[in-house]
Amino acid sequence: MTTDSALTSEQILSAAEDVLRQFGPAKATVVDVARTLGVSHGSVYRFFPSKAALREAVTERWLAQAHDELRFIAIEAGPATERLHRWLTVLFAAKRKKAFDDPQLFATYMTLVGENSHTVDAHIGTLIDQIAQIVQDGMETKEFRLAHINSTARAVFEATAHFHNPAHAASWSDPAADERFEALWKLILGGLAAKA
């Protein structure tokens, strides 16, 4: 039970995730979320004006998991090569964890992600900006050859889709996945690195 006055958007988002996990994306309603919290559905609507807005916010929160760690890697000091490798590794690990720790919730989010292409685009934009930051640092330290920063960042993101896009999740449990990730990394690093 939550009193209306103490209600936070974070509580609503957590409850919405629980409801989605329990009922699935087709059946979950705002009334279910309100009932879980012991508040009226009007209270939920004060935070999220529509069911669609609530679903979008839940999707955004889910996509943003692991973002803090990634954002930190993008802005910290240190060689760009090591940071970019670590950034990609952390992203892959985070996606893999989501896919395998709770496969049913993962499937639910695949549905939500399909509904909220604008949120997904913004999410991808944020990730590419972080890569661009590292790429720029690497060009400044002459670790990477000079090239158009944003195109290069996007190419790195797209080149690694196999290891972060949920469409490829089925291959992430392959015993050779880590080895293949490293082979891909070597290829990409070769493409980025300044010629000796």
Q: Which residues bind its own copies (CB under 8 A)?
A: 145, 147-148, 151-152, 154-156, 158-163, 165, 167-168, 179-180, 183-184, 186-193, 195-196
Nearer to its own copies, 19 or 155 (CB): 155
Write phi, then psi, for 67 (nearest 5 degrees).
-65, -35
Provide the minimum distance between the beta carbon of 67 and its own copies in the complex, in angstroms, as a whole number: 22
Give 36 or 184: the residue with its C-beta nearer to its own copies: 184
Q: In a 3-state reduction of DSSP, which class is residue 164?
A: coil
> Of the two residues 27 and 180, which places its CB atom closer to its own copies in the complex?
180
- The C-alpha torsion from 40 through 41 and 44 to 49, rounded to 10°, is -150
16/83 with CB nearer its own copies:
83
In the bound complex, what is the minimum distance in angstroms from residue 72's beta carbon to its own copies?
A: 25
Provide, rounded to whole angstroms, the least separation between the CB of residue 22 and its own copies: 26
CB contact at 8 A, 108 and 20: yes
Q: Which tokens sit at 171? A: 């291959």
Let me know: does 160 contact 88? Beta carbons within 8 Å. Answer: yes
In the block, tokens 């009226």 appear at 40
Q: Helix, strand, coil proportions of the chain in percent (round to 5)?
A: 80, 0, 20
Measured from the CB atom, the residue of 97 and 186 that comes closer to its own copies is 186
Give the other-Cβ count within 10 Å of 136's Cβ: 16
Closest CA to 95 of 86, 85, 106, 82: 106
Nearest approach, Cβ of residue 163 and its own copies (Å): 8
Shortest distance (Å) from residue 71 CB to its own copies: 23
